[in-house]
A and B are shown apart, each in its own frame.
Chain A
C-alpha cells in the first residue's frame, strides 16, 4: 500500500465522515459545504483529465460547467412552468428527473467540448489558453443576453430535481448522490489514466511527434480527452445548479474556469485525488477566511504561490511525495 493510496483514502474518509458527523449533530450547512466540495471536485476531476493527463491548459472549462448548469436550469424551469421546451417538429417537455438532466448535461457539454476542442486543439500553448478562454467568455455573454432564461439575473428553480427512491431535498441524501458521482468519475479517471488511451495521451504531452511515429494522432487523442473532460465538468455544473437551485451566467465566467484550475493545481496536477484535495481546501478556506474578510482570496493567492513555488505536486504531492503521477 503506497503513501498516495493512504492519503487518498484518508481524504475520501474525511469527505464522508464530516457530513455524517454533521448529520448526527444536525448541522445541515456543513453537509452542504461537503456537497459543494464533492461537486467542485467532480468539476476538477474533469479538468484534470485534460490538464493533468493531456497537458491541456484550458481556461474555458467554465463553458462546460455552465452548459451543464443551464441544461439543468432550462429543463427544470420548463417542467416547473409546465411549458414544453420544443413543440415542433416534435414535442420535448422539461423534466425534474435528475438522471435525465445529467444525461442532457453530459451530452450537451460533450458536444460543446467537441466543437471547442476541434477548433482550439489546432493551436497550442498560450494560443490554446486564449481560444478556450474566448469560447468561455462567448458563452458567458450569450447567457447574459438570453432573456428567455433570466439573462444577467439568472434563473431560479423552486424545487429540487428528483432521483428515484431518494429524497433529494434531504442534504445528506443529496450529498450521497454527489459523492457517488464523484467516486464514479474518479474511477473513470483512474481507468483512463492506465488505459492505452491514457498512456498515449500522456506520451503525447511529452512528445507529440514520437506518438505520431507509433501510429497515433495527438490531435485525436487530445480531442477525445477534451470531450470526456468537458462532459464530466458539465455533469458537475448540473449538480451545482441543482444544489443552489439557481443558474446564472457567472457559471460561464472566466473566474469559474480559474477556480476549477486552482482546485487542480492546489491539489496536484495529474494526481487522481488532486481535485478533491484542492476543492476541499478551497471550500474550507472560503468558509473560514470568508467570514473574517471578503478579501480572503488574497490568502488563497498566497497559498497558490507557495504551492506553485515549493510543492509542484500540490497537497497530494506534499503529503504523498513524488509518486504515481506521471509528471
Chain B
C-alpha cells in the first residue's frame, strides 16, 4: 500500500487552473523525484499534498487516510514534513528555538538533528536571520525532521546554494535514505544528484503527470522531451 497517493488531482489559484491531472504514488521508504520544467506544477502539487492549496477534484491519501480536505496542520501531524522552497525559517527565533518550536516526540530530536548537521549545533544560539543560505536550508530540513515525519518533502532544497553546501545537503539526504528509511519526495533540477538518491521519478507537464517510472528508466530522450536537459 502506498504511503502517499495522488489521484487525478486538479487545483486552482483563484480562477486560474494550475493542476489538471496529477497522479503519483510513493511507497514507504522510497525516494521519489518530482520533475518538470519551471511552472509545470511541482510546487503546486506539493502545496496540495501539504494542504496549503485546496484540491478541486481528485483525491490525496496519506497512510491510508483521505487527506484531501483536512487543514494543513493536521496533514503535518499525520507525518508530512515540508522543507519549503526558499528555506523560510522563523527568522526571529534562534536555531535551537526554531527546532524545538516544531518538535514532536520520536526518533528526531535536537541531538539527532545536530548529528546530521553539525553546523546547526555550532550555531544553536544564533538568530536564524543571521545564518547563511546553506545553514538556513539545513535548519529548514532540521525543523521538518523535528516533527518526526513519515514523509519528508524537499522543494528545491539545494537551489541557489554554493556547490560545497549543495553537496552537504545531498549527503544528508543520502544519509536519511540509507539510515532512517524515511520516505522522501524531492523536487530538484540536478539530475546527476537526483540519480544518486531517487528510486523513482514522476514528470509533470502543464499541471499533469506525463511520465512516471523507475529513475533508471528515465532515458535521455524522455528527459530531453519533458525536462529539457
Contacts and interface: CB of A to CB of B under 8 A. Distances in A.
B52 interface: yes
Contacts of B144: 214
A196 interface: yes
B91 interface: yes
A211, A215, A326 interface centre (most CB from chain B within 10 Å): A215
Given A196-B101, A207-B88, A213 B52 contact: yes
B102 interface: yes
A212 B97 contact: no
Interface string A14-48: 00000000000000000000000000000000000
Contacts of A196: 100-101, 103
A203 B100 CA distance: 11
Contacts of B77: 215
A80 interface: no
A327 B101 contact: no
A209 B72 contact: yes
Interface string B71-93: 11110110001101000101111
Contact of B102 (A209, A214, A326, A327): A214
A210 B93 contact: no
A215 B147 contact: yes
A326 B76 contact: no
Contacts of A129: none
Interface residues of B, number: 27
Nearest to A217: B73
Contacts of A207: 88, 90
Nearest to A220: B73
B50 A200 contact: no
A123 interface: no
B118 interface: no
Nearest to A197: B101
Interface string A182-194: 0000000000001
Interface of A: 194, 196, 199-200, 202-203, 206-207, 209-217, 326-327
Interface of B: 50, 52, 71-74, 76-77, 81-82, 84, 88, 90-93, 97-98, 100-104, 143-144, 146-147
Closest 3 pairs between A and B when the two form their complex, measured CB to CB: A215-B76, A199-B101, A214-B102
25 contacts: A194-B97, A199-B90, A199-B100, A202-B90, A202-B93, A203-B90, A203-B93, A203-B98, A203-B101, A206-B90, A210-B84, A210-B88, A210-B90, A212-B71, A212-B72, A213-B72, A213-B82, A213-B84, A214-B81, A214-B101, A214-B144, A215-B77, A216-B73, A217-B71, A217-B73
Given A199-B93, A203-B93, A214-B144, 19 more contacts: A196-B101, A200-B101, A200-B102, A202-B90, A202-B92, A202-B93, A203-B90, A203-B92, A207-B88, A213-B50, A213-B52, A213-B76, A214-B81, A214-B101, A214-B102, A214-B143, A214-B147, A215-B102, A215-B147
